[in-house]
Amino acid sequence: VSELDPLCARLVSGDRRALARLLTIVEDGSAPQRRELIATLHPSAPRARVLGITGAPGVGKSSVTNALITELRGRGHRVGVVAVDPSSPFSGGALLGDRIRMQSHHADQGVFVRSMAARGRLGGIAAAAPEAVLVLAAGGYDVIVIETVGVGQSEIDVAALADTTVLVMAPGMGDAVQAAKAGILEVADVLVVNKADQPGAGMLESELRTMLEVGHAILGAASPSESDARSAWVPPILRTVAVRGEGIAGLLAAADEHERADHGSESRELRRARRWIEELALSTLRTRIGRSERLEELAAAVAERTLDPLRAAQALLDGLRAEGEGDA
């Protein structure tokens, strides 16, 4: 039917160049191309295990990912890696694509590494990551590692997608309180103190332990419905020296244990589907809003204070409804 069909067929047969081109479509493709990609691959793509690796800049996330790849390859898995650069809305992508990363696996056909820019205002990583996972899973990669740079919404979006989310920290690189404030500690299933051979590792670990206890108490009280699903699992705190591979087998074992303990795996699958649908619907609506001819005149009226922004938003939505009648 389309030009994507042969590409998808090559993907499924293990063609890495087809995989690369399809990931480029996920990242930069038009909405119709991405629509077709999802419609073609979704019905028959195998499910893959998704591991999220998050943490502040400088803690050694790439080293942890690199060591995890080695460990997973040793177990016979084929490993796809998506390294997310929170993108600029201005340049539309990473300023410096870090192509050198994970080069120790460069020659390994069972590993595929891709840097990807989150797409700024248009849904960000929450929209792009499920599509990248779909493409990699269809390409035969059964474990997919998503590594995010920075601290913020990306982490929370990745955690919603991952089976297990690993938060990496290091002595002296921002403290546990900062992670807790950013809400990252609450979405982490496994905590890693990397660079554990450096001074301050013990202090960071005890800080983390305290924050977890405080957080658990607050969460238990504040939002029972959200915490119910997670309350059974207490995130372990592990020490690694990822550049030397130390502690990585233990990290993977902890992730395995988390996956076994996560009885809500069916509801996780449902939650993922719900978020994906929501993001796709919102992307469509964002596009319609951005295209709306009324937006400019409404913005002018709001800037002049002759109209308040809420009435402007309502007028915009009324207009969309009328405009949208035709494009369903």
Measure the CA angle with vertex 59, ends 56 and 64; round to 5°: 110
Q: Does 137 bind its own copies (CB under 8 A)?
A: no
Comparing CB distances to its own copies, the nearer of 75 and 321 is 321
Q: Which of 17, 75, 263, 311 binds its own copies (CB under 8 A)?
A: 311
CB of 110 to its own copies, least distance (A): 26
Within residues 241-280, the interface with its own copies by CB under 8 A covers: 266, 269-274, 276-278, 280
Q: Which of 1, 96, 100, 107 binds its own copies (CB under 8 A)?
A: 96
Comparing CB distances to its own copies, the nearer of 79 and 137 is 137
Q: Does 140 bind its own copies (CB under 8 A)?
A: no
CB of 322 to its own copies, least distance (A): 10
Comparing CB distances to its own copies, the nearer of 155 and 205 is 155
Half-sphere exposure of 202 (CA within 13 A, CB side): 1
DSSP string, 188-205: -SEEEE-STTSTTHHHHH
Q: Does 100 bind its own copies (CB under 8 A)?
A: no
- CB proximity list for 189: less than 8 A, separation 6 or greater: 164, 165, 166, 233, 235, 255, 258
Helices 153-161/124-138 angle, 10° precision? 30
Q: Does 220 bind its own copies (CB under 8 A)?
A: no
Q: Which of 292, 317, 279, 308 is nearest to 128 (CA)?
A: 279
Q: How far apart are CA 139 and CA 22, in angstroms?
A: 10
Within residues 148-207, the interface with its own copies by CB under 8 A covers: 149-154, 156, 173-175, 177-178, 180-183, 185-187
Q: Does 300 bind its own copies (CB under 8 A)?
A: yes
Q: Does 147 bind its own copies (CB under 8 A)?
A: no
Q: How far apart are CA 293 and CA 195, in angstroms?
A: 54
Q: How far apart are CA 70 and CA 172, in angstroms?
A: 27
Q: Which of 89, 103, 104, 197 binds its own copies (CB under 8 A)?
A: 89
CB of 244 to its own copies, least distance (A): 23
CB of 175 to its own copies, least distance (A): 8
Residue 263, classed as helix, strand or coil, is coil
